[in-house]
Amino acid sequence: MHRITRRLAALATGAALLAGSLAAHAEGRIRIAEQFGIVYLLLNVAQEQKLIEKHGKAAGVDINVEFVKLSGGSAVNDALLSGNIEVAGAGVGPLLTIWDRTRGRQNVKGVASLGNFPYYLVTNNPNVKTIADFTDKDRIAVPAVGVSVQSRVLQLASAKLWGDKDFAKLDKISVAVPHPDAAAAIIKGGTEITGHFGNPPFQEQELAGNPQARVVLKSYDVLGGPSSATVLYATEKFRSENPKTYKAFIDALNEAAQFIAAKPEQAADIYLKVSGAKTDRALLLSILKNPEVQFTTAPQNTYTLAEFMHRVGAIKNKPASARDYFFDDAHSAQAN
């Protein structure tokens, strides 16, 4: 009986060790998709200072972190659903689209905001004063037509001007172009691209680089105030099966936000180093110190777009609030 008891105890210990080994193996890997612009500065700081790895070690997990550069919400969503990344970085529009399509399956939800940023629709066409002045000869560059947050904000502005039935009126003259290429086209002029709904620092580069460039539309005006235009999101499976890795990621983001607020000059240098961008440093600092720009992980003013997308049939499921499409974490408790 003693021998049997000892054997059972040994088997139980071995099973526990095996379970622990499998759990440890499940933890410790995170691949994050980012796009272009200073709106991804939280990720740039976390990458350069290895903050995710730091918080992982504090939790007893060695985390292998990989950053993947993509362009457009469609490409990011495809990468997430195909299992090529664990965390997606894109606009609120792509988040709402994938949340709607994966309900009851992968259950993709928002992880955190990357901050509040005003997005500008800039044109170099002297005849365009408002969005009503664009014609079939114009082309408006966005990261992803009909999907990106820029495209969705443009649709909302169109709905306000022409009514919900014509919310997609400007989609037919919109083209999918990465922000760096679109900015170069606006600055240079002479191409079919006469408008670009971008993000910092590309929109500021356009205004500084082409005397004919002007702002046609501001996202804050359309959405009724500061808003979290760019967010991070993941599957429910990743969050539930990798709690230590997930928490280390959140803690890293919060530390990065505090760093940027306290040391904007160092943050600007990190952006230049990590992104490889040739952006003017003084211009970067002016963006970081702009009172309309706030680096925070707490989602703000996203529901306006969610309600609109449901109203025009872009998403089938209507969220009761922003907390429906963000995970129930401390920083997102007041998501709106």
* Residue 103 · residue 29 · CB < 8 Å: no
**Is the pLDDT confidence value at 328 over 70?**
yes
Tokens encoding 203: 């929109």
Instruction: Tell me which residue has tokens 């974490």.
Output: 329
Q: Count CA atoms within 13 Å of residue 34 on its CB side.
A: 21
SS3 316: coil
**Residue 221 carries which side chain, given as an amino acid letter?**
D
Structure confidence at residue 332 (pLDDT): 83
Q: What is the mean pLDDT of residues 101-114?
A: 97
Work out the mean pLDDT of the chain and round it to a whole number.
91
Q: Which residues contact 110 (CB under 8 A, 6 or more apart)?
A: 95, 99, 231, 232, 233, 299, 325, 326, 327, 332, 335
**Is the pLDDT confidence value at 88 over 80?**
yes
Query: Distance (Å, rounded) from C-alpha 309 to C-alpha 153?
Result: 10
Query: Distance (Å, rounded) from C-alpha 335 to C-alpha 321?
Result: 8
pLDDT tens digits, one per residue of 3-14? 444 444 444 444
Structure confidence at residue 26 (pLDDT): 61
Q: How many CB atoms lie within 10 A of CB 73?
A: 31
Beta strands in 115-173 (DSSP E): 120-123, 139-142
SS3 288: helix
**Is the pLDDT confidence value at 48 over 90?**
yes
Q: What percent of the chain has pLDDT over 90?
A: 85
Structure confidence at residue 147 (pLDDT): 87
**Is the pLDDT confidence value at 308 over 60?**
yes
Residues in the chain: 336
pLDDT tens digits, one per residue of 169-222? 999 999 999 999 999 999 999 999 999 999 999 999 999 999 999 999 999 999
**Structural domains of the chain sorted by starting position, each given as residue range(s) with its CATH number in brackets:** 27-117+228-332 (3.40.190.10), 120-223 (3.40.190)
Query: Distance (Å, rounded) from C-alpha 202 to C-alpha 304?
Result: 25
Structure confidence at residue 330 (pLDDT): 84
pLDDT tens digits, one per residue of 259-300? 999 999 999 999 999 999 888 999 999 999 999 999 999 999
Q: Which residues contact 204 (CB under 8 A, 6 or more apart)?
A: 283, 286, 287
- What is the pTM (predicted TM-score) of this model? 0.85
* Residue 173 · residue 140 · CB < 8 Å: yes
**Is the pLDDT confidence value at 84 over 80?**
yes
**Is the pLDDT confidence value at 19 over 50?**
no
